[in-house]
Amino acid sequence: MSERAIAYVQSLGLTDRTAERVFLLLAERTRADEQSPVMGLQLREVDIPDLAARAGMDTQQFRDLLRALKTMVRMDVLEHDGGWEIVYGPAYTTPQPPSPARTGPVGIGAIQPFTMPGWDDYSTWGQEEGLGHLYAQLYRNGDNPGAAPRIWITPPRYLVQTIDELAAAIASAITPYAGGCVPPEAIKRWLTPQPPARPPHLATEPRGQRSSGTGPSAPYTRIRPPHWGERT
């Protein structure tokens, strides 16, 4: 049981008491690092009946409420065959303070591949043209490339301007999926900018669009999160 995760859920002040009860059940099963702003857990389908009974509802109602939670609180609720991944925490609901203004790295480019094994089919990172900060949009291999990225490092939640800051943000966000702490120094190895003359499959496409195709040879693209540009 994570007292920190429970305290976080209670601090949200959810007005839907049924949703809060379900969220607290998730918090009880969460393993939360004392320093990380990201918390997460995995649920198997075989866990659902017991949790639903504790919440006082049937299994379908419980699944529906899991899906509805992300409309009430900023978080990720991801369904996979045979299970669920749920990631939440202060990193989602508390905007990161802006870093002191400084010039971002020069010559990185708008779209670079993120080459971490297991995440290297569609994941990208780069520099927001004209804005100076860096972004990352990360897909686990096997994820639907037409869906939203599993992890978004982008304003307003993150405002990073150096590769060191980007590596630290990715390390924190990816840890719940990695089964253990991933040090930023390791992440930096997979953030090596490619030479300026990039192959055709890294060509920039119109924002908000994604080419068809599967596997590592499919084009990388830059898309925008629905909340991009918000200020909270």
Determine if the pTM surpasses 0.85.
Answer: no
What fold is seen in the domain 3-93?
Arc Repressor Mutant, subunit A (1.10.10)
d(CA 149, CA 185) in angstroms, rounded, equals 23
Q: Tell me the pLDDT tens digit for each residue of 15-34.
A: 999 999 999 999 999 876 66
Q: Which tokens sit at 133?
A: 């900060």
Q: Tell me the pLDDT tens digit for each residue of 93-130.
A: 876 554 444 444 556 778 899 999 999 999 999 987 76
Burial of 185 (0-12, 13-18, 19+ CB in 10 A): exposed
Q: Does 65 score more than 80 pLDDT?
A: yes
The pLDDT confidence band at residue 83, using thresholds 50, 70 and 90, is confident
The pLDDT confidence band at residue 159, using thresholds 50, 70 and 90, is confident
Domain chopping of the chain, boundaries: 3-93, 112-202
Q: What mean pLDDT is predicted for residues 80-91? A: 82
Please state the three-class secondary structure of the chain as a single string: CCHHHHHHHHHCCCCCHHHHHHHHHHHHCCCCCCCCCCEEEEEEHHHHHHHHHHHCCCHHHHHHHHHHHHHHCCCEEEEECCEEEEEECHHHHCCCCCCCCCCCCCCCCCCEECCCCCCCCCCEEEECCCCCCEEEEECCCCCCCCCCCCEEECCCCCCECCHHHHHHHHHHHHHHHHCCCCCHHHHHHCCCCCCCCCCHHHCCCCCCCCCCCCCCCCCCCCCCCCCCCCCC
Average pLDDT, the chain: 78
Looking at residue 81, its pLDDT comes to 74
Question: What separation in angstroms does the CA of 156 have from each of 91, 125, 131, 216?
Answer: 10, 16, 13, 30
